[in-house]
Structure 1
Amino acid sequence: MSVRAESLAVQVRGLTRSFTSKGVLNGIDLDVAPGEFVALLGRSGSGKSTLLRALARIDHEAEGEGEIRLPERLSVIFQDARLLPWMRVLDNVLLGISGGRDRGRAALAEVGLGGRERAWPHELSGGEQQRVALARALVREPKLLLADEPFGALDALTRVQMHALLRRLVDAHQPAVLLVTHDIDEAILLADRIVLLEDGRLAADIAVALPGTGIARRARIAELRALLHRLLGVEEFPDGASDAAIPLPSLGERHG
């Protein structure tokens, strides 16, 4: 059963999903507060995308022993921008919305694509296409933004740029965000909380709490990275190198 509620952006109780005899989600309980950014991390096959599809109302066979509570307005972005090739950029942004062309132009300007309203999707780079997808999601002013590895197909530099853009837009629009990712550093840099999924269950719930700048911030990043590698069973640096020596781009002082 799906019940809308505004007190929490997401409230899930007892969510289950099976494919044939295999249980993919095994009694998930999850709360996400309004404006909170939660990263969902886990190995391949742990159920991350299945959970996101259930919350996006794409998978109607997922079952809750209790209930799934969602806000009225939500948007979804995927790894593939999913732009319609026969529609210009502005029309893709406004897909399903009556009128609002000024809103669409403003959304494109926010993602750095002002003046590209009449471009065709094939004229854009992969990063630009994902900017259009982000504008399409945010023009609807969602209370909840669901993101399924939206930067997974981008090159490293473009990903860094998109991380900064997403964080800036989230700070401006204040939706709750649930981000599915395989990237530990992406989760650390973007999220307020990191939820670890293992065998269809929530195995850990970790507050990120990054200090704003300097040595304390770098130390906290290194601590979180080591903890998440350990929880995921990943050998970080087999040659004995220190992860503290590897710099990460700063997204400002949002956690401090």
Structure 2
Amino acid sequence: MAHHPGLTAPTDPVPGVRLRGLHRAFGGRTVLDDIELDIAKGEFTALLGHSGSGKSTLLRAVGGLDGAAAGRGVVEVPEPSAVVFQDARLLPWSRVLDNVVLGLPGPRAAALARGRAALAEVGLAGKERAWPGTLSGGEAQRAALARALVRSPELLLLDEPFGALDALTRIQMHSLLRNLCARHQPAVLLVTHDVDEALLLADRVLVLADGRFSLDLPLGGPAGPGRRGSAEFTELRERLLRALGVPEEDRS
């Protein structure tokens, strides 16, 4: 269990993510106002909010990416953790397999074997020697997922990982991500602007507004495209769009 430097460590560690009194302010403006959040092992939580609402600030705080002096509060997360961004961030001068195992501890041969297994798991078997520049956008994000999964993360942080992909590729990536998370059971925090994406992937959806959660919405039934056909889907979508302040005439 990791306690990020510069923050107060709790005395009663619990599995999964635990945030208590998380506060961030920039230029005198409060972005996160004493946030409280728990994410259990195996729970998939999606975070929605307007641009500038603090979604990525929250994700960076959970990932320990915002520095020790950025604020106050308790941030307790399981280890290891991994982050997947909208940009796959593959090193162009390294082949795909070398990107996946970059920084992986242990003997080189064992790391390469784990990297090949991770690439096969995301559907990129045979692409180990490819250069990143030859991959499609969807393939690059699959490689980024493999790089995250090869570390067997207890916490997976996703910062709009499919935002730059076309609609068909997004559907394919949604299916892949659901299957991978069901198999590996990390705690997951997904930052997204897409209400439908949140509803189709998550067990729970949070809406961040004015530095606090304005809505904490648990979702019933298994995630996936079948949820779209449920009687509740339209109602859940309406609740989220209202919470985001989307005018009724724009809720198509």
| TM-score, normalised via structure 1 length | 0.88
Q: Is the 8 A contact 1:35 1:177 kept in 2?
A: yes
- Matched residue, 2:46: 39
- SS where residue 24 of structure 1 aligns? strand
Please, which moves more after superposition, 22-31 or 209-218? 209-218
1:224 aligns with 2:232: no
Relative to 1, partners in 2 of residues 1:177 and 1:214: Cα closer, same or farther, differing over 3 Å? closer
Q: 1:74 aligns with which of 81, 86, 103?
A: 81
Query: What SS does structure 2 have at the residue aligned with 1:229?
Result: helix
Code of the residue aligned with 1:220 in structure 2: it is: E
The reply to whether residue 10 of structure 1 matches residue 12 of structure 2 is no
Instruction: Report how far residue 218 of structure 1 moved.
Output: 2.4
CA deviation after TM superposition for structure 1 residue 203, in Å: 1.1
Shift of 1:70: 0.8
**Aligned-pair distance for 1:235?**
2.6
Distance 1:152 1:121, change over 3 A: same
The 2-side partners of 1:71 and 1:139 are apart by 16
1:117 aligned to which of 119, 128, 138: 128
Deviation at 1:214, TM superposition (A): 6.9
Indicate which of 61, 65, 72 corresponds to 1:64: 72
Change (3 A) 1:136 1:3: farther
Contact 2:53 / 2:208 at 8 angstroms: preserved in 1? yes
Q: Secondary structure at the match of 1:134?
A: helix
8 Å CA contact 1:210–1:217 kept in 2: the answer is: no
- Unpaired runs of 5+ residues, structure 2, are 1-6
Q: Deviations over 1:2-54 (max 9, x none)?
A: 64987331100111111111111111111001110000111111100000011
Letter of the aligned partner of 2:199 in structure 1?
I
Between the aligned partners of 2:84 and 2:248, the Cα distance in structure 1 is: 30
- Residue 170 of structure 2 corresponds to which residue in structure 1? 159
Where does the alignment leave 5 or more consecutive residues of structure 1 unmatched?
A: 244-256
Q: Aligned residue for 2:95? A: 88
Letter aligned with residue 40 of structure 1: L
Change (3 A) 1:125 1:62: same
Correspondence list, 1:179-194, <5 A: 179-194=190-205
User: What's 2:245 paired with?
Assistant: 233
Q: Is the 8 A contact 1:88 1:118 kept in 2?
A: yes
2:138 aligned with 1:127, yes or no? yes
Q: CA deviation at 1:116?
A: 0.5
1:144 counterpart (155, 168, 171): 155
**Alpha-carbon separation, structure 2, partners of 1:195 and 1:102:** 38
Q: Give the share of equivalent positions with the same residue, in percent.
A: 60
Shift of 1:178: 0.2
- More deviation, 79-88/207-216: 207-216
Counterparts in 2 of 1:14 and 1:124: CA distance versus 1, 3 Å:
same
| Large movers: runs of 4+ above 2 Å | 2-8, 61-65, 210-218, 235-238
> What is the aligned length?
239
Are 2:199 and 1:199 equivalent residues in the alignment?
Answer: no
Amino acid at match of 2:172: Q
| Contact 2:25/2:71, CA 8 A, preserved across alignment | no
Tell me by how many angstroms 1:237 deviates.
4.3
Deviations 1:36-95 (A, max 9, x none): 000011111110000001111110133234x11111210001000000000000000001
TM-score if structure 2 supplies the norm length?
0.89
Paired with 2:77 and 2:95, the residues of 1 have a C-alpha distance of: 31
